[in-house]
Structure 1
Amino acid sequence: MKKFYFVIALLCSILLHSQQRYFLNSDTRLYKSASASSDFWGYFKYGAEVRLLSESQNGWYKVQADNFNEGYVQEKYVAKSLNAKDVKINDPENPILDGGDAYYGGNHLFVLAAGLKARALPDKNSKIKEILFTGDPVAVDYVPVNQEDWVNLNGNFDEEYAQYSLRKFIGLRPNFDKLLKDFDKLDINAVADRKTISERIVELAWNSDYSKLVPAYQRYYEVVKQINDPKLIAETELNMALAKGLEKHKLPEQITAFVKKTEFSLKGTKTKSLYFSQTDLVKLFGKPTKKANVGDECGIYLSDLFYYYPDLEVSVDEKKNQAEIVKVFINENNKLIINSNAVLDNSVSEKAFIEKYGTYIEASLKTPHNYSIIMEDSQFRIVFKDGKLFSVEIFFYC
């Protein structure tokens, strides 16, 4: 009977530990047995969260890491909370980087592969939660020694935030110049290897600065022509034009001056500004097809009330008889007039837009065919679909 009660008490204790959060107050390792001289599964960085799987035994806890590896850590490194008085012992062999570099503020490593699939579970068949690019920083608190083991890229046990990749695809930030040299050394007929490295070069260039885009796309274009895929060639030529524009990016004051007098033409009526009266809005467009309240915690819009039309979205303050343009769908009726020499209508192709205005825009590999023009307190977000101008949204900073 005493044995039975002991087992129940032990199970209750383990259950209690599993419901509480525990953290490591120093760098340490996940040992295979309760001994600092034993082999180990991987490295923990200060602040890593662990799950306790046992009571303390001779100064050691059995724990579970955020990638589900199980092993042992010393009791003295386990705490219910972290504080500024923690005496952190740095492990010189621990590959995880401390926060505070130019890329990430917490424990992290970098993505080494192009188009890395971050999965919901440590399983190659698990749902893909996000596509990560070469040079992306990822939050990492624990890394296994085995390169074929999985890493939790958010250092979080919560299924909503946790995502996983193999250890071999995560490491120190790649060196752009070294990747260029590695590519240039390859045999011209090694198309598969050239494609792999050139994809990494392009992604790392986007994760660096605009000046690196041109040499990156020059090499990638060599491979694309070898593959001879017409669609990929056209897409790369578009990106090469974008790279040339971004390389000569205008100064902020030049961009602000360029868009200072921007206005919309809606059904032939110029707005003169982003604001007009609700009365004029209804006269021009009629009653909205839908009204809805949107969450606006930052207070960036005129009102929480939005009017939705087939080709327009407007924030409206009915009491004050005011309306503010939020988004315009560009068609035969609507266009954006930046100035007398810069009119964006539904005849403008994406390539022509890039070639003419590429020095004024911002762009990202993660949101292709989406561009922005920065203003003092807001930005124009310009979207293309199937090569044609689709919409312009005004986004105000929080």
Structure 2
Amino acid sequence: MKKYHFIAALLFCSILLQAQERYFLNSDTRLYTSTSTSAEFLGYFKYGAEVQLLSKNENGWYKVKADNLSEGYVPEKFVGTRLNAADIKTVDNENPVLAGGDQYYGGNHLFVLVAGLKARALPDKTSKIKEILFTGDPVPVNYLPKNQDEWVNIGGNFDYENAKFTLRKFIGKRPDFNTLIKEFDKLNPDAIAERKTVAERIVELAWNSDYSKLAPAYQRYSEVVKQLNDPKLIADTELNVSIAKGLDKHKLPEQIVAFTQKTEFILKGIKTKSLFLTQKELVKTFGKPAKTASIGDECGVYLSDLFYYYPDLEVSVDEKQNKAEIVKVFINENNKMILNANSVLDNTITEKAFIEKYGTYITASIKAPHSYSLQFEDSEFRIEFKDGKLFFIEIFFYC
């Protein structure tokens, strides 16, 4: 516990120093143990990395702190208070950190190599978990230590609110899907724990790739799940297999929009026109709202900044124009969604039945289980299930 508080104090002090002045590296370089390029080095900096100065210029060198709290020396010529297009960058070909510009990430980055990686608030195994990352996720990296057992800040900067840490050995070059498949297929069928580890990575990487990879990923994962004989895991996997089959035959955007363009709701017997009804109809049907609030709508996507909140409904309301626009509906015996004459989403539909019927229209993510999206004009429906039953439908308006 003392170690935890000590690290927290160091971070706090770092934030105070940063507030006074910010310094950046205008070239690839390394963090040296002394003021010489022939000295041992601790890790690699990528162009644009932020550092904190710990000492004044010492014969052309600064003592600095990296964003993972490691301390060492860098050449003074690479340190500046800003970055600009005129910077003459020296590229370190041995630096493992990838520059921005690929299809995955715009800045300096590496990729998660393991399944369910815990990103922590501090460089300490006992600190709070801030995020769970998945195999193939790109993460920002500006400083990378050589030591595989040291910590890396994958939050992008020194800011305590954004700082996230993981061990160096868990990130690297993006895993190759086919290589993982071959690795799994070579394993002894009795090596269940190892097969599970590799299968989890395959599944997560498939979700981070394209839909066509989901079927072969779940084929192998299902083999392991059957060996484990865990009823809940088997049920969850069967559901994910159904999702994968639907996504593999995903409809074109124009087909999805055509399918949803006449969507409307029935709320306590009142049929809406698309997503709209009058404010008078709303109050007559639902009574006075339990709560009203004015929200900040910078994008201007809602009908009005004024929101009415009911136990099973959220609505944007323009009282002067006598208009109300549906934002969120909790599905129950009174409320349902009508996609078309043959497609009704009500409180009787199960998650499994929904996937089997609409799997080719929806989008899904391993990071948001039991939550699906369905495109609708310049917005989308967020469809949420709870305990296998339809829970609510929320309209997400694009900015």
Please indicate the TM-score interval, normalised by the length of the shorter structure. over 0.9
- Cα distance in 2 for partners of 1:376, 1:346 equals 25
Q: Structure 1 residue 54 and structure 2 residue 49: aligned?
A: no
Q: Which residue does 2:271 correspond to in 1?
A: 270
Give SS of 1:117's match.
Answer: strand
1:266-297 C-alpha deviation (Å, 9 max, x unpaired):
11221132111101111111111111111211
Q: How does 1:326-337 map to 2 (within 5 A)?
A: 326-337=327-338
Higher mean alpha-carbon deviation, 367-376 vs 34-43, is at: 367-376
Q: Which residue does 1:78 correspond to in 2?
A: 79
Aligned residues with identical type, % of pairs: 74
1:376: how far off?
A: 2.7
Q: Which runs of 5+ in 1 are unaligned?
A: 1-14
Q: Structure 1 residue 362 and structure 2 residue 363: aligned?
A: yes
- Cα distance in 2 for partners of 1:64, 1:170 equals 21
Q: How does 1:368-387 map to 2 (within 5 A)?
A: 368-387=369-388
- Cα distance in 2 for partners of 1:163, 1:284 equals 48
Give SS of 1:36's match.
Answer: coil
Residues 288 and 308 in structure 1, CA contact (< 8 A), matched pair in contact too: yes
Q: Which residue does 1:173 correspond to in 2?
A: 174
- Cα distance in 2 for partners of 1:388, 1:294 equals 30
Amino acid paired to 1:306: F
Amino acid paired to 1:346: N
Q: Which residue does 1:135 correspond to in 2?
A: 136
Amino acid paired to 2:23: Y
- Cα distance in 1 for partners of 2:20, 2:143 equals 20
Residues 314 and 323 in structure 1, CA contact (< 8 A), matched pair in contact too: yes
Q: Which runs of 4+ in 1 moved over 4 A?
A: 15-18
- Cα distance in 1 for partners of 2:377, 2:38 equals 59
Going from structure 1 to structure 2, the CA distance change for 1:361 and 1:163 (only over 3 Å counts) comes to same
1:230-272 C-alpha deviation (Å, 9 max, x unpaired):
0000000000000000000001111111111111011122113
Q: Which residue does 1:6 correspond to in 2?
A: none
- Cα distance in 1 for partners of 2:37, 2:271 equals 74
Q: Which residue does 1:223 correspond to in 2?
A: 224
The number of residue pairs the alignment matches comes to: 384
Give SS of 1:168's match.
Answer: helix
Q: Which runs of 5+ in 2 are unaligned?
A: 1-15
Q: How does 1:2-13 map to 2 (within 5 A)?
A: none
1:107-147 C-alpha deviation (Å, 9 max, x unpaired):
00000010000000000000000000000000000000000
1:18: how far off?
A: 7.5
Q: Which residue does 2:4 correspond to in 1?
A: none
Residues 142 and 155 in structure 1, CA contact (< 8 A), matched pair in contact too: no
- Cα distance in 1 for partners of 2:62, 2:101 equals 31
Amino acid paired to 1:223: V
Q: How does 1:332-347 map to 2 (within 5 A)?
A: 332-347=333-348
1:220: how far off?
A: 0.5
Amino acid paired to 1:168: K
Amino acid paired to 1:104: Y
CA-atom RMSD, angstroms? 1.0
Provide TM-score, normalisation by structure 1.
0.95
Residues 261 and 377 in structure 2, CA contact (< 8 A), matched pair in contact too: no
Residues 265 and 271 in structure 1, CA contact (< 8 A), matched pair in contact too: yes
- Cα distance in 2 for partners of 1:218, 1:260 equals 35
Q: How does 1:14-93 map to 2 (within 5 A)?
A: 19-93=20-94
- Cα distance in 2 for partners of 1:268, 1:303 equals 25
- Cα distance in 1 for partners of 2:285, 2:386 equals 27
Provide TM-score, normalisation by structure 2.
0.95
1:5-51 C-alpha deviation (Å, 9 max, x unpaired):
xxxxxxxxxx9788211000000000011110011000000000001
